[in-house]
Every structure is written in structure tokens, then in C-alpha cells.
Copies of this chain bind each other. A is one copy, B any other.
Amino acid sequence: METWDAIRARRNVRTYRPDPVPAADLDRIAEAGWRAPSASNRQQWNFIVVTDRGQLEALSTVWRGARHIATAAAAIALVVPQFDDDRMRTVNQYDLGQATYAMMLAAADLGVGTGHSSVGGQEAARKILGVPDDHDVAYLIGIGYPADRPLKPIVKPDRLPFDEVVRRGHW
């Protein structure tokens, strides 16, 4: 898909067709995250690709916004070290956002929908994925083919007026 079409077609997808997403496509989605930039190229992240139904169902319980993971074809968990440093923690969140968007866009390009979620129950999430205690499961991205309409460029996205958000030269 053309980049501009993928950017306009990406939307949060939280209901999925039961079809699996090919392993090669999941690899490409993860590769987009792997390629994402990070502060000083630190790459303070791991991406765990999950396709096991039992794990997906268990992960769907770690946050009220994660319920869609139960019926996703797959999920990618974004895992980060616990930072003592406030500044590092902040920058890492910014970097995780970049990696997340990269993966969501790579998915949209393949006609695959994504919907991300925070994680509330760290202990439970760590246990499901075998993540060590000094790391956090920061976010989950649910992955699957949209149950409703396919991904097509959205002409009028649900956003504040463009000229209110985007300004020229000054506030």
C-alpha cells in the first residue's frame, strides 16, 4: 500500500476475524518496531509476539482496555526495563510510542488491524509472558483482520479541527 494511504487507513481495530495472521506478516510488523528510532539508539525495549490462545486470553485480563486481546489473532507485548531515572522513563515512553506507531502502520499496510492497550496488572502480565521482575509489560498491541470493514483511507477522521491543532509560525 502507498504510505499516505496506510497513514490514512490505520485505525484502532478491536474486533477481529478469527483468521490467523501469517507468521511472516507478524515478523514484518515486529521488524517495523525493531527499526523504530529511540533516544541515543538505546533500544530499551523487547517485543514479545504472542499467538497462543491461552496466553492471549490471559493477557486480555491485565487491563480493562485489553479485553480485545482475547480474540485477537496475535498480540505484541512491549516490555521495558524499570527505570530509576525520571527523565529516562519519560523518554522511553516517547520511544515506545514511536515503535507502536511503526508496528501499527506496518500492519495497516498488510490489511491487518491493530489496537493497543495499557497494562494494569504488572505481576500477572509478567507471569503470562515469563518477564523478569525488573521489567514492565508497558503496552499490548492486539493484532488481527478487522471483523467489520477493511482498512481503507479515512477521509474525515474523528479529530479536532486541523487548524486548531496545527498552527503556523506561532501559537
Q: Which residues of A approach B to under 8 Å, CB–CB?
A: 1-8, 10, 12, 27-28, 30-37, 41, 43, 45-52, 55, 79, 89-91, 93-102, 104-106, 108-109, 116, 118, 129-132, 135, 139, 154, 157-160, 162, 165-171
Contacts and interface: CB of A to CB of B under 8 A. Distances in A.
A71 B163 CA distance: 26
Report copies per complex: 2
A106 B168 contact: no
Contact of A3 (B79, B97, B109, B166): B109
Given A109-B4, A159-B35, A162-B34, A132 B171 contact: yes
Contact of A98 (B33, B50, B101): B101
B3 A49 contact: no
Nearest to A97: B97
B37 A7 contact: no
A166 B46 contact: yes
Given A43-B165, A95-B97, A97-B100, A35 B8 contact: yes
